[in-house]
Structure 1
Amino acid sequence: MYRSTKVTNEQDADDIRIVTEHQLLLESVFGKAATKTFGEAVASYVESGGSDRFLRPITEVFGKFRLRDIKQNDLNAAAAKLYPTAQPETRNRQCYTPFIAVWNHAVKNGWAEVRLWQRPRKPKGTNVVRIRSARSGQAPVDYERAAKFVSFMSPAPAMVLTALFYTGLRPIEAFALEAADVDVAKRWLVVRKSKTGEPRGVPLHSFLCEWLGPLVERGGILFRGPRGEPYKEVQDGGGGLKTAINGARRRSGIKDVSPYTGRHSVSTQLVVNGVHPHIKDQLLGHAADSMSRHYTNVPQKPLIEAIDTLPVPASWRALPWVAAPLEWQSKLAEGTGKRTDLKKAGRVDTHALPRPRT
């Protein structure tokens, strides 16, 4: 093997050669599982489409560790060190879940052994009392309330939030959707890059089919902001929707809606509607076994029927942009996007929508 050490000092180069020869020897005898590091597994996981959210601090801890040397106690200690004051569910979401996702990717590639990692558990018993302020997005809202909130948004972000309330997608999944991923006629879309790193199919509610067509025909990124730019995710925030959400809260007086509220509302409403838990989990991407991934592009009738049980308030369907989404996409809700350049030119800004009636 011929490989540059990328150093100019002869002694450093020889040290690198010795280490490399040792790794190659281990690989030839025991396979790649003997030498692969967690950092290499993370790089491969992200390259294959996995989400890198929350992975940076974990990689700083385990990056140089060989996979075979990481034990349960090491993971527990890392979680406690990274999130010393966090609740078990927070440690689970921000440490254990991303770590295990990378580990399972390594297992699939033959770099690590199958292992059942233990996650933190919530305290048992009724004597454990936790008092904390409610946070928007952690609970569902009814669809009438959601419709009122969306009516106070500019059309472009309103389209994204509407899609979240009628698919259960995570915001980052909606932001990444491209026109080629959506088949309105078959009432199906494909999420190429999900939280788990695996693709999944999602049914389209009939309401979405009423207005998504023009966006699909346009091609490229499906959802775009008022200026035609793709939305971007912001760590621990609402991404490109944050400003639109805050503005709608101010204008509507509704404070308990955020991008993730759509996902929680879909899940809760499906339970209320009597949808089977297995179907609900498939809709939300919780049950993506290896067999179901083979049929990612195949529309499934039970899932389409289940998503259609979500209600559509008349006020939601009556929003003006529903009839002509491309024509309304660049317009703004009243009280947003003031244009000082128009004032200087002596012109009147007619770009804003009238305030919705309540």
Structure 2
Amino acid sequence: MLTEAIHGKKAVATFDEAANSYLENGGSDRFLGSFDEETGKWTGLMSHLVGVPLKDITQARMNEIGKALYPNVRPDTLNRQLWTPFIAIWSHAERMDWAQPKRWIRPKTPKGTNVESFGPKRVGSYPVHYNVAWEFIKGLGVANATVFTILFYSGMRPIELFTMDTSQVNVKNRWITLPKSKIGEPRGVPIHEALVPMLTDMVKNRPGRLVRTSDNEPFTIFDNAGGQMKTAIIAARLRTRIFDVAPYTARHTVSTQLVVEGVHPHKKDQILGHSADDMSRHYTHVPQDPLIEAINKLPTIQEWLGQDWMREPVKHVGRWAKPLKKAEREAGLEAFKAWAAGRVAA
């Protein structure tokens, strides 16, 4: 207490204090680890940082923790399971004035054709063409098709969409306000013109949670990772014979397509929520024309835009996908086996 009184909270705040404050303010506990009541010990990231002052955490220390917790994993796995939760807590500590701002170095995926591959990429970690996305969406019921459509034309993280309310959508000015992103920062998301009819109907006729299940109920969130879509996605894969589309595919697709369309990297990062300087935080609620112009460069497919549920998603939310017949299921499973075998061989 004396040290804190003299030198301030930055001199004494520990990582677990920051983590607890982060969780109390709505942060996710995913990948932080769990506490064993019998042994009185933590697992995961917390096992390495409980009681450690924030001022003593260095890049070298975090690199060593990464090697200890996740040896021989891909850079994207290490980012997702170590660096994303850690930086979210550190950013919270900065806002509380408990920690000095730091620029942490995340692992990067190796570039070049001579990089050794350790197996096929995880589904959802790479982009697809928009025509492939549409063919897959045809295999979904309206509720899930709506979710995928918004993701493919916004680049939002699935968790951001699942927890959104219609009050956050300003259709007139083409802007969505997210008070808290995955890393705890507020951000704004431009609305693609293709989503205008859909979002207009949702805002007008569906107060509360923006996206709903086919029973017109909010999606249940499981471990901060979405929910209630797994069965529908599996069935859609069997119907369409497209096996490499998942909710997170949309985010990678938007990112890649913006690059293809020549959008400046800074604008792309702002759209995806990668860029959060003091200025962008200050204007989270203010629609930004350059970002709206950029998101509208994403390609559209007329058949997709012409669906009745694109105009009236609330009215058609209860429409299920056509049930799979036994022969279709068996044929789909055979196609999946061939696809999976080809990935392993590659």
Provide TM-score, normalisation by structure 1: 0.81
Of 110, 121, 144, 1:134 maps to: 121
Q: What is the rounded CA distance, in whole Å, between the counterparts of 1:74 and 1:283 in structure 2?
A: 32
Quote the residue 2:275 is aligned against: 287
Partner of 2:290: 302
Q: Are residues 1:221 and 2:184 paired?
A: no
| Aligned residue in 2 for 1:339 | none
Name the residue aligned to 2:132: 145
Instruction: Describe the shift of the 1:321–1:79 C-alpha distance in structure 2 as closer, same or farther (beyond 3 A).
Output: same
| 1:19-38 aligned within 5 A | 24-38=1-15
Relative to structure 1, is the Cα distance of residues 160 and 93 closer, same or farther in structure 2, using a 3 angstrom cutoff?
Answer: same
Please give the secondary structure, in 2, of the residue aligned with 1:153. Answer: coil
Would the alpha carbon gap of residues 65 and 211 (structure 1) be closer, same or farther in structure 2, given more than 3 Å must change? same
Change (3 A) 1:261 1:116: closer
Matches within 5 A, 1:332-343: 332-335=320-323
SS in 2 for 1:298: coil
Query: Cα distance, 1:113 vs. partner?
Result: 2.8
Show CA shifts across 1:294-336 (max 9, x none).
1111111111111111122122123232232112101211117
Give the Cα separation in 1 of the matches to 2:286 and 2:89: 27
In structure 1, the gaps of 5 or more residues are 1-23, 337-358
Return the alpha-carbon distance in structure 2 between the equivalents of residues 123 and 279 of structure 1: 24
Deviation at 1:146, TM superposition (A): 1.0
CA distance in 2, matches of 1:32, 1:124: 41
Aligned to 1:331: 319
Output one character per residue of 1:63-121: Cα deviation in whole Å (capped at 9) or x when no partner.
22222333444322321222123133422332123213322322332222334444445
1:66 to 1:315, Cα distance in 2 relative to 1, 3 A: same
Q: 1:101 and 1:312, CA in 2 relative to 1: closer, same or farther beyond 3 A?
A: same
* Equivalent residue number for residue 59 of structure 1: 46
Equivalent residues of 1:49, 1:193 under 8 A apart:
no
Give me the whole-angstrom Cα distance separating, in 2, the residues matched to 1:205 and 1:112: 38
Paired residues for 1:206-355 under 5 Å: 206-217=193-204, 218-235=206-223, 239-335=227-323
Deviates more, 1:117-126 or 1:200-209: 117-126
Map 1:7-18 onto structure 2 (within 5 A). Answer: none
Check the 8 A contact 1:175/1:223 in 2, yes or no: yes
Quote the residue 2:21 is aligned against: 44
The Cα of 1:223 is off from its aligned counterpart by 0.3
Instruction: Report SS of the residue matched to 2:228.
Output: helix
Across the aligned residues of Structure 1 and Structure 2, the Cα RMSD in angstroms comes to: 2.2
Match of 2:320, SS state, is coil
- 1:163 Cα shift? 0.1
Query: CA separation of 1:269/1:128 partners in 2, compared to 1, >3 Å: closer, same or farther?
Result: closer
Give the one of 140, 154, 165 matched to 1:178.
165
Alpha-carbon distance, 1:247 to partner: 1.3
Number of matched pairs: 313
User: Which 5+ residue runs of structure 2 have no aligned equivalent?
Assistant: 34-43, 325-346
Paired residues of 1:211 and 1:325 also in contact (CA < 8 A): yes
Report the CA distance between 1:125 and its aligned residue. Answer: 7.2
Alignment check: 8 A CA contact 1:51 1:197 kept:
no
Distance 1:188 1:170 in 2: 16
**CA–CA separation in structure 1 for the residues paired with 2:87 and 2:69:** 16
Q: TM-score, normalised by structure 2?
A: 0.83
- Alignment CA distance shift 1:253-1:124 (3 Å): closer
CA shift digits 1:170-215 (9 cap, x unpaired): 1001101101000111111111221120111111111111121221
Q: CA deviation at 1:221?
A: 0.4
Structure 1 residue 124, shift from structure 2 partner: 7.5
TM-fit CA distance, 1:48: 3.6
Per mean C-alpha deviation after superposition, the further-off stretch among 283-292 and 102-111 is: 102-111
Q: Residue type matched to 2:269 in 1?
A: D
| Structure 1 residues 250 and 298: CA distance shift in structure 2, 3 A | same
Larger Rg: 1
Instruction: Select which of 160, 167, 189 maps to 2:147.
Output: 160
**1:225 shift after superposition:** 0.6
